[in-house]
Structure 1
């Protein structure tokens, strides 16, 4: 990853992939904005870790990305930097529903997932655009937006149909924004497969989460469960100048899941 003390906002960074990403960037002296919706204690713990790892500055900002005013507030908390080198749209949510149980997903479920997983990144980009363009002007290279999507948005798998649909929309939006914001801002998305975080435990319980993890590791060609740190390395690559020739890309990182038919998460349970 390139050195350089970048100015970076990471949404949903109180835990999991967002926290892992912030920690890696901190080691390179970044100025970081840690965002949370409700996990204030966890967010401040991550912020303190980042300070100890070498971050030049760490700001903590509460905000729900599904709310446009909160997106403006989050970006406003970093406005004193004057420029922004990267926006990492990591905040996301789901509802765990087996794909054949159509009656267990409501219109309200779809609206909630789209509000956070799709509309939220759009609103964050819109709020941060001026700072990102200022960053490009100051550095002489394009600033970066990294949208954290999912293989669910490519293959229609994942925790629910609504989740897969929201990530599919995020993938298309990534390409649209890459066209619209070039040449000052690059926009890419990562599409991870299974990540070994508390995501499934919270949604399904410990035993069901273990079954998913075991099914994934036995089914994917690399026979591993990716850690948040594994995926965070790719996020940081796309957020830094090392990927300066990339925009509009959907980068899959799924331990080879896409090479074969995988049904562990979507089959009848």
Structure 2
């Protein structure tokens, strides 16, 4: 155990933003705990890449909506590393029911989205607080979304859950300061599987249109988000309670 090397826990780290977060933190000198719900092989691949970047990396399976699993996960972090310096609450889920289909939305699906995206975020943060308080520069970064701040084409439970993440971020910043800083990132339309699932056959056309309307002339990538997350953890010691929009200026100019 290298007690001098900082440790980061990234939930939902087997793919997408979580994967990029874990690898960016590993490259920045952090050991990483890679949480996953079901994608064991993908999580193991991320761990191997993190180790190639010089990190010690472990994978931990846990559904963040399951409190017992969350407590066991943080117990494992304590056992393996004895410290936690950064928490990235990235685990999230959605449904495929479009906002236009009010009657087609299952309330069981609604509850599952909130269980992962909101309850899960709170449970992991609460369980991590005792370890984070041991760190001299503890930071939490939550993955929100632009649709938590303004209307968008995402399903109702997803958008509402991300608005809750925005509120939780600000409330937790007040409750956990000054020892622990809490911020969030709010990505816009992001290149990759998530938006492909949401936009279907219109993905290429709509993403190209969004890029043309964006001041920086492209859509956000998972690596763009990870760079901002690492900055919030390592380079912004007097920033807390903030929601950083990462969309190339689209929402600021349209």
Unaligned runs of 5+ in 2: none
CA, structure 1 residues 49+186, in 2 after alignment: closer, same or farther (shift >3 Å)? same
Which residue number corresponds to residue 202 of structure 2? Answer: 208
Q: Equivalent of 1:150, from 140, 145, 150?
A: 145
Q: Equivalent of 1:232, from 226, 229, 241?
A: 226
Does residue 164 of structure 1 match 2:163? Answer: no
CA, structure 1 residues 168+101, in 2 after alignment: closer, same or farther (shift >3 Å)? same
Q: Is the 8 A contact 2:189 2:195 kept in 1?
A: no
- Partners of 2:158 and 2:51 lie apart in 1 by 34
Q: Is the 8 A contact 1:105 1:162 kept in 2?
A: no
What is the aligned residue count? Answer: 250
1:46-195 aligned at under 5 Å gives the runs 46-55=46-55, 57-80=56-79, 81-135=81-135, 139=136, 141=137, 143-195=138-190
Unaligned runs of 5+ in 1: 262-269
- Partners of 1:77 and 1:186 lie apart in 2 by 23
Q: Equivalent of 1:219, from 208, 213, 216?
A: 213
Partner SS for 1:134: coil
Q: Is the 8 A contact 1:152 1:167 kept in 2?
A: yes
- Partners of 1:99 and 1:220 lie apart in 2 by 24
* CA displacement at 1:158 relative to structure 2: 4.0
Question: Alignment RMSD, CA only?
Answer: 1.6
- Partners of 1:234 and 1:5 lie apart in 2 by 21
CA deviations on 1:168-215 (whole Å, 9 max, x unpaired) are 01100111111111111111111110111211334554x233233223
Instruction: Identify which range, 123-132 or 155-164, moves more after superposition.
Output: 155-164
